[in-house]
Structure 1
Amino acid sequence: MSNESIPSDFVAQNQLKITKLDRKINKRRNKGKISDKRSVPVDAKAKQQKNIEIQTPKSPKRKETFPQYISEKQIDNLLRNENSNGRQYIEGQLRINPRCHKYAYLSLSDDQYDLLIVGLKDRNRAFDGDFVVACINQPDKWHTYRGQKQKTGVVVYIREKVHPRKTVGCFKQRGAFTFLYPRDHRIPLVQISKESLQQFNVCPSSYEDTLYLVVITDWVKPKFAIGKIEKVLGNIGDIKAESNAILLECDLDVTPYAPYGSDVMKGLPDSDYSLTENDVKNREDWRGECIFTIDPVTAVDLDDSVSCKSLENGNYEIGVHISDVTHYIEFLSPLDIQISKRATTIYMTDNVYHMLPKQLCQVCSLSPGQDKLAFSVIWEMTQDAKVVKYHFAKTVIRSCCQMSYQHVQKLIENPKHNWPDDFLNINGNYKLSDLSTKVNILHNLATQMRKRRFQNGALQIDQPKLYIMIDETTGLPISYDIEERQDSNREPSKHVLNMTQDTLQKLGIHLDVKSSASLHASIKRYEQELETENDDTRTTMKYRMMVINNLCSRAMTRATYICSSSVKAEKELRHYALNVSLYTHFTSPIRRYSDCVVHRLLYSTLENVEMPKEWTKKLCKSIAANCNIKKYRAKIAQERSSELYFTYLIDLKGPMITMGIVLAVNENFVNVILCQFGLKLSLSFTQLENLADVKYSSDCSVPTINIFWKQPPVTQVINIFTLLYLKIEKHPKSFQLIGNFLPPNSKSEILL
């Protein structure tokens, strides 16, 4: 190293330091504080000094900081003046990879990979779900993925902070500081102030055993944010504390409404309310018609009912009657504002948290034998399910029966069966045979309409949903069930769908993704082939269909509510899976605030009455955005609640050997679907460190893992669709389900 790279005064400064250091050492030796009997040769000392003299000074450590934001005014100007063919700035909702939180994404056009944002610094204080603006990097900073360039970028502005900036985790001491380690790895470490620790009397001995809810107050350095304790939730492993943690982390409000008679509840009818003349005034009276509800056996909030009547001309009069919730809620009243903020009912395994106050749920629920207010749509339909005419009406109805899906299924399978008297509890002068006839007419019409809908290009993707049954006395899980669910209301990313098509094609699965109709036909073709196979092949194909459906569903973007006056083109309102130009929700106002909004808008249109002056485009957009957020968070909370209680059930019964099918292959892990439960797990290869050697390859663009087991000495080849024996159990330290690889010829019995 030449002296040219050293500051001119560096040697002199260090010589002076050495001289002073020698004096201090000699002085301390003389005082007997240091006993060093070894002599240091003069030339060694000179050499040591020479070495010090030529050392390069350490440059001051540069503090890593976030990039500065661009102002809102500048951002708006930049976006307004951009050319669509050469955009430098992208606006959208940030998505952070939950398994690899280093990577975040913004959607680009259909024919491109998502914009990739790498690391906390480039994410620039944005959290998952935030609406942000990002600047696209120069091409030399783009990443290469599967031989193609993927654009990268940096967040330069947060348009809307959607994420609540709250997180759940446990504390750990690092030096003099205390940090929260979030359970959600998409959130950075959070340094907790001493004042906050003292305020909640947090004892270091309980750091790693207790769950805390923390709110993030600042984020200056990329490595960690700053926060304070908002609530102590309880001990890790306590199922109530764990369940509460899910709700709080999803920022869902489940606090009870104010007591009946308070200002918020002013004017609200009590639970045993009887309709008045004022209530039924100017309504169509349908109390003499045969109307009934069809819901899950555990349903309490009955917000939709149906009717069916044969007409003299051979057609049918079909009615759908929805609870008229908005009759009882004044627009923008204190209660209406609270309901709009909650936006949805939340279904957890151990509880249901209603969007409406309990007494209003009871007043609005279409219970059998009681007069209720409804908003109805009535069609006249031909026997081949063609609509002749229709009309909407505010009505008063009286349901005669509360049916479950199981009841209806039995009536469809055995329409002429002589069911016992206690099969259904029927009010009014109706017989079980009457209801069976009406149910089968409705089923026939629905089947024809569904068939026609798919022929016209609709799409249906079924995925299993896990339900956990709990003991009402202890609150602990006792069993589980699987229900097929439809996930067909979302628009796909064509690029991701094409990638899925290419991957599956290399494995012998051919999907046509040109349209929703062709995709639906491809999926159904494979499902129909199941019927002609033997039991073993049928089971394997059933599991393969789980992977196909999941991969196709993963390509879909979430359906969202939107203010129709804010779109630039009507095609933005199209519903992809149903293949209809316009679609909205209407049938569940007891559990969805969006439906309440639709009821008000529809009634305003039908009666040609202006909406209140407070109803604006801005308010509509705000309500739609909040409904989207709360709908998604409630969905996540419900899924996590099922996984929590399933994990608890596994912990009670002990580890279980089961089958998993591979969903995705990575260099460091594979993702699997547990075939019997529909849950997804990520399996890391680190668990095989002393048991096997692992080799990754992507020959022919098909990611493949070879596991060379030591005992027994066998080689296991893993790619998409591979069936694996797995041992699933609760993580020893956290309340999470984990899976462990087992050798392919394991003799372990599969417990189902």
Structure 2
Amino acid sequence: MPISKNQILEFLKKSIYRPVKIKELAREMKISPAEYHSFRRQVKDLISEGHLIKLKKNRLGLPDKLSLKIGKLAATKGGFGFVIPDDGSGDIYIHSENMGTAMNGDKVKVRVLSRRNGKSPQGTIIEVLERAKSIIIGTLKKTKYFGFVEPDDPKITRDIYIPPESFNSAQVGQKVVVEIESWSDPHLSPEGKIIEVIGFPEEKGIDILTIIKEFQLPLDFPPAVIREVEKSDPAITPAEIKNRKDFRKLNCFTIDPINAKDHDDAVSIQKLKNGNWLLGVHIADVSFYVKENSALDKEALARGTSVYLVDRVIPMLPEKLSNEICSLKPEQERLTYSCLMELDENCQVVNYQIQESVIESKAKLTYEEVQAFFDSGKSTTQLRGLEEDLAKMLELSQKLLKKREAQGSLDFDLPEALVILDASGNILDINQAARLDSHRLIEEFMLLANKTVALHVTRLAMPFLYRVHAKPDPEKLKAFSELVSQLGYKTSLGEKVTPRLLQRFLKQVEDKPEEPLINELLLRSLKKAVYQPENIGHFGLAFSHYTHFTSPIRRYPDLIVHRLLKELKKGQYTPERYHFLMKRLPRIGEIASDREKIAEEAERATIKLKQVQYMQDKLGEVFEGVISGVVPYGFFVRLQKLMVEGLVRLSSIDDDYYIYDESGYRVVGKHTKKGYRLGDKVSVKVIRVDKEQHQLDFVLADNFKKRKK
């Protein structure tokens, strides 16, 4: 059996006290000539991953023994930063003079210099191992002698020098995409070339397009993908129907947002003679059309997910598939993968079937019209014939929710901004998106289907892709406990924290003014859910088994899950396939998790952009808000209805000298002892809107009135 990376590291830690060359290490570990090629590849992987350091004369060493660390740089607007080590040890402070040529997000090698009194150790970056970004977005500017690009990202504090021959017809003031060509001297600016001109900031659509370029989101599909999609036949043959479970006469339908076009799930319900429920979750069979290793499949993996920006959707799959052939449109035959679950009166799944199927959706419903029926009991033409099924679904979904909560599942009901645009992309209004019983109905049914599929595959003990959520870091929960204690809430979150314990705490803050803020702070204290083949359960949901099966039109992991389920119909993979998946699935999980994170950040960036634009004509207006963050130079206030944040600078409060109390999450007047603390309600006046940096400045409304007097 080939030697593993862990075995190599353990041997170096326990048996070798000095740096060695790779051949010497192979001799010490008694690696045979037949194993040497594989061994050498494993060592190279360990070097690229940062677990081993390559020294002079090609010697290898362990980072810890050399006072070196490998990690990711988190830079700040102030020019300094912190390196978050890959090994999970504490952050390392990097002074601005010790940043070298590293930029925010880069994977770097750090030499640890010293430990600061009571603070994190200090280090210096000695090598950039991997750039987080190959391109920079910014504005082209020019002096008398040369041009430069000022990055949009405030965490990139160095301008990019652009030689005259690298302008690429760009004009001063335009937003551009820059590729860094060289940066070897930290005392000089990096040099780059303009590879794309986005346009002038005031031009229509350039604001969102700039964010799309910043996150390197793909707008167009490659020609090879388009050619494959054009060959996709929407017609379903009788032979294909014969190979599937025929649910075309079943009363199933979709419930989606009003503007949705990619309908990937339909639901059905029946009451059985034994009194049990038969819940059907029918998912578009995207894997029938997207074959493994095709150009379409490779592009879908590279995208990882559909991205829902404030004004558009950047789909994972071309629209002919996502909005047409795969979309579960009403009164049209569609290929699906169905999960039918029989539930008893206690909502326990007593039997289930997971099988390829064909359906014909009876209706395309929206969350709003279903909720209107729940609220009033009045039907509409669109709902006719579905009233009884909807009533049963509401009853079952509420029982499922109650059961899930009783088992400790966390439910962060965080308010979300709903940005309303006109046809030209101008912002009309901002509201808080309502969370309706109709939303919860679909959520509960999808959660149950995902859980059932995961449990089914776990019993087969075969390689699979799970959606997992690790237990929280005790140190982060300790910090959270200290924070909320300052807000007047007592909680004991020790080493053995459970979802039920957190759930009980969340009940304390339910319906309190600071509930949204505390929910958000707790969510930040938890780890992020990811995709991986190792099933460690889902902490937040309090599920021992969970996957993503229900959205293959917009999420690549769901597409993979469908593909694997088909292969497992006989209970196991071939030996060759088993070994291939053991190697391949971890990487697919990493890509999907990374793409999900990028999509979320891009979505938030476009919402923030439109929120700031909305405030442009609100200068001088007063709003109610809650203090959402406290920093040495002021505090951030989140406006309650609009959910946009702005900064109140301490220099703008003139009734006292205010001192930052870090441990108390507040600022306190030196003489009056008056304080402003995280979670406090305040009234603020808008005094500045910075469209370029997407930032707002506020002053306290009461303080402003006093000034005018």
5+ residue gaps, structure 2, are 1-44, 55-59, 444-467
Question: Alpha-carbon deviation of 1:402?
Answer: 1.6
Taking structure 1 as reference, are residues 645 and 288 closer, same or farther at Cα in structure 2, changes over 3 Å only? Answer: same
Q: Secondary structure at the match of 2:702?
A: coil
Deviates more, 1:71-80 or 1:584-593: 71-80
Q: Secondary structure at the match of 1:678?
A: coil
How many pairs align? 621
Q: Which residue of 1 aligns with 2:482?
A: 502
Q: Distance in 1 between matches of 2:523 and 2:498?
A: 14
Q: Secondary structure at the match of 2:657?
A: strand
Q: Which residue of 2 aligns with 1:648?
A: 613
Larger radius of gyration: 1
Q: Which residue of 2 aligns with 1:580?
A: 543
Q: Distance in 2 between matches of 1:391 and 1:124?
A: 58
Is 2:368 the partner of 1:406?
yes
Taking structure 1 as reference, are residues 325 and 481 closer, same or farther at Cα in structure 2, changes over 3 Å only? Answer: same
Taking structure 1 as reference, are residues 555 and 370 closer, same or farther at Cα in structure 2, changes over 3 Å only? Answer: same
Taking structure 1 as reference, are residues 284 and 71 closer, same or farther at Cα in structure 2, changes over 3 Å only? Answer: closer
Q: Which residue of 2 aligns with 1:240?
A: 205
Q: Which residue of 2 aligns with 1:104?
A: 82
Q: Which residue of 1 aligns with 2:23?
A: none
CA deviation profile, 1:505-529 (whole Å, cap 9, x unmatched): 13312234332221121112221xx
Taking structure 1 as reference, are residues 198 and 286 closer, same or farther at Cα in structure 2, changes over 3 Å only? Answer: closer
Q: Secondary structure at the match of 2:229?
A: coil
CA deviation profile, 1:582-601 (whole Å, cap 9, x unmatched): 32211111111121111112
Deviates more, 1:299-308 or 1:621-630: 621-630
Matches for 1:411-560 after TM superposition, within 5 Å: 411-414=373-376, 417-419=377-379, 421-422=380-381, 424=382, 431=385, 435-472=386-423, 474-483=424-433, 492-513=472-493, 514-527=497-510, 530=511, 541-542=512-513, 544-560=514-530
Question: Alpha-carbon deviation of 1:264?
Answer: 3.9
Matches for 1:28-427 after TM superposition, within 5 Å: 72=47, 75-77=50-52, 90-92=69-71, 94=72, 96=74, 100=78, 102-106=80-84, 114-119=90-95, 122-132=98-108, 134-135=110-111, 137-138=112-113, 141-144=114-117, 148-155=118-125, 161=131, 163-173=132-142, 176-202=145-171, 206=172, 209-223=173-187, 224-256=189-221, 258=223, 263-265=227-229, 267-269=231-233, 273-361=234-322, 362-414=324-376, 417-419=377-379, 421-422=380-381, 424=382
Q: Distance in 2 between matches of 1:87 and 1:451?
A: 54
Q: Distance in 1 between matches of 2:643 and 2:690?
A: 23
Q: Secondary structure at the match of 2:530?
A: coil
Contact 2:649 2:699 in 1 (8 A): no
Question: Alpha-carbon deviation of 1:364?
Answer: 0.3
Q: Which residue of 1 aligns with 2:689?
A: 731
Contact 1:117 1:123 in 2 (8 A): no
Q: Distance in 1 between matches of 2:431 and 2:48?
A: 53
Q: Secondary structure at the match of 1:557?
A: coil
Q: Secondary structure at the match of 1:453?
A: helix
Q: Distance in 1 between matches of 2:528 and 2:79?
A: 20
Taking structure 1 as reference, are residues 386 and 516 closer, same or farther at Cα in structure 2, changes over 3 Å only? Answer: same
C-alpha RMSD of the superposition: 3.5
Q: Distance in 1 between matches of 2:580 and 2:300?
A: 16
Question: Alpha-carbon deviation of 1:216?
Answer: 2.0
Q: Which residue of 1 aligns with 2:623?
A: 658
Q: Secondary structure at the match of 1:627?
A: helix
Letter in 2 for 1:574: G
Question: Alpha-carbon deviation of 1:220?
Answer: 1.7
Q: Distance in 2 between matches of 1:577 and 1:370?
A: 38
Q: Which residue of 1 aligns with 2:677?
A: 719
Taking structure 1 as reference, are residues 694 and 264 closer, same or farther at Cα in structure 2, changes over 3 Å only? Answer: farther
Taking structure 1 as reference, are residues 288 and 741 closer, same or farther at Cα in structure 2, changes over 3 Å only? Answer: same
Question: Alpha-carbon deviation of 1:304?
Answer: 0.8
Contact 1:586 1:598 in 2 (8 A): yes
Q: Secondary structure at the match of 1:464?
A: coil
Question: Alpha-carbon deviation of 1:412?
Answer: 3.2
Letter in 1 for 2:176: Y
Contact 1:694 1:705 in 2 (8 A): no
Q: Aligned residues: percent identity?
A: 23
Q: Distance in 2 between matches of 1:458 and 1:89?
A: 41
Question: Alpha-carbon deviation of 1:71?
Answer: 9.6
CA deviation profile, 1:521-540 (whole Å, cap 9, x unmatched): 1112221xx3xxxxxxxxxx
Taking structure 1 as reference, are residues 352 and 391 closer, same or farther at Cα in structure 2, changes over 3 Å only? Answer: same
TM-score by length of 2: 0.79
Q: Distance in 1 between matches of 2:76 and 2:550?
A: 33
Taking structure 1 as reference, are residues 547 and 653 closer, same or farther at Cα in structure 2, changes over 3 Å only? Answer: closer
Contact 2:624 2:681 in 1 (8 A): yes
Contact 2:615 2:689 in 1 (8 A): no
Letter in 1 for 2:638: I
Contact 1:308 1:318 in 2 (8 A): yes
Q: Which residue of 2 aligns with 1:681?
A: 646
Q: Distance in 2 between matches of 1:525 and 1:602?
A: 42
Question: Alpha-carbon deviation of 1:498?
Answer: 1.0
Question: Alpha-carbon deviation of 1:466?
Answer: 0.9
Is 2:597 the partner of 1:632?
yes
Contact 2:686 2:696 in 1 (8 A): yes
Question: Alpha-carbon deviation of 1:349?
Answer: 1.6
Q: Distance in 2 between matches of 1:575 and 1:134?
A: 34
Contact 1:120 1:222 in 2 (8 A): no
Letter in 2 for 1:406: E
Q: Distance in 1 between matches of 2:418 and 2:68?
A: 43
Letter in 2 for 1:72: I
Letter in 1 for 2:527: T
Contact 1:309 1:318 in 2 (8 A): yes
CA deviation profile, 1:470-502 (whole Å, cap 9, x unmatched): 112x32111122126799967533212211211
Taking structure 1 as reference, are residues 481 and 734 closer, same or farther at Cα in structure 2, changes over 3 Å only? Answer: same
Q: Distance in 1 between matches of 2:190 and 2:531?
A: 33
CA deviation profile, 1:416-466 (whole Å, cap 9, x unmatched): x342x43x255xxxx1xxx33323333333333333333333222222211
TM-score by length of 1: 0.75
Q: Secondary structure at the match of 2:331?
A: coil
Question: Alpha-carbon deviation of 1:244?
Answer: 0.4
Contact 1:292 1:402 in 2 (8 A): yes
Letter in 2 for 1:634: A
Instruction: From 581, 584, 589, give the equivalent of 2:552.
Output: 589
Q: Distance in 1 between matches of 2:50 and 2:66?
A: 13
Contact 1:180 1:189 in 2 (8 A): no
Letter in 2 for 1:470: L
Letter in 2 for 1:380: E
Q: Which residue of 2 aligns with 1:29?
A: none
Contact 2:94 2:125 in 1 (8 A): no
Taking structure 1 as reference, are residues 259 and 116 closer, same or farther at Cα in structure 2, changes over 3 Å only? Answer: closer
Q: Distance in 1 between matches of 2:120 and 2:316?
A: 43
CA deviation profile, 1:322-354 (whole Å, cap 9, x unmatched): 100010111111121122212211112221121
Is 2:657 the partner of 1:694?
yes
CA deviation profile, 1:129-175 (whole Å, cap 9, x unmatched): 4455545x25xx2234xxx44234445666654x2332222234467
Letter in 2 for 1:723: K
